């Protein structure tokens, strides 16, 4: 996926009369990619919308996640045994996006740090000097 800056560069070079072949060579991208950007005449990065393959099984995934003791490998085995056409990577990606199985982030109780101006214990006690 090209960034907005790359798309802007392509359009600017094209406006200057640089050929699409030369733009592709200079930026290290394919000519069809350059052609698509020039035809779109837009620097906006298109959003890719994909349907989640696991969405129809969401409720069942939640149920199995609890009964399978939060083991996604086991959840996948149960789903496929029930006839779900779902790959393990699709299941794990869905769970990550939905926050299923993610431990809540807990802030540390206290922060410890060393100040370089404080004497170190080794030098104060004579050890390690």
Per-residue pLDDT of the chain (129 residues; tens, 9 = 90+): 899 999 999 999 999 999 999 999 999 999 999 999 999 999 998 887 777 888 999 999 999 999 998 899 999 999 999 999 999 999 999 998 888 887 766 666 666 666 666 555 555 555 554
The DSSP string of the chain is ---HHHHHHHHHHHHTT--HHHHHHHHT--HHHHHHHHHHT--SPPPP----TTGGGHHHHHHHHHHTTT-HHHHHHHHHHTT----HHHHHHHHHHHTTTPPPP---S------TTSPPHHHHHTTT-
pTM of the full predicted structure?
A: 0.47
């Amino acid at each position: 996926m090209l960034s907005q800056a790359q798309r802007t560069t392509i359009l600017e070079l094209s406006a200057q009369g640089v050929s699409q072949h030369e733009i592709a060579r200079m930026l290290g991208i394919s000519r069809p990619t350059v052609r698509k950007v020039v035809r779109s005449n837009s620097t906006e990065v298109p959003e890719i919308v994909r349907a989640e393959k696991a969405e129809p099984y969401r409720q069942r995934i939640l149920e199995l996640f609890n009964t399978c003791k939060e083991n996604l490998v086991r959840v996948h085995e149960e789903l496929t045994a029930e006839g779900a056409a779902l790959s393990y990577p699709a299941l794990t990606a869905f769970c990550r996006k939905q926050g299923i199985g993610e431990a809540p982030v807990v802030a540390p109780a206290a922060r410890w740090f060393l100040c370089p101006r404080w004497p170190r214990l080794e030098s104060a006690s004579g050890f390690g000097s």
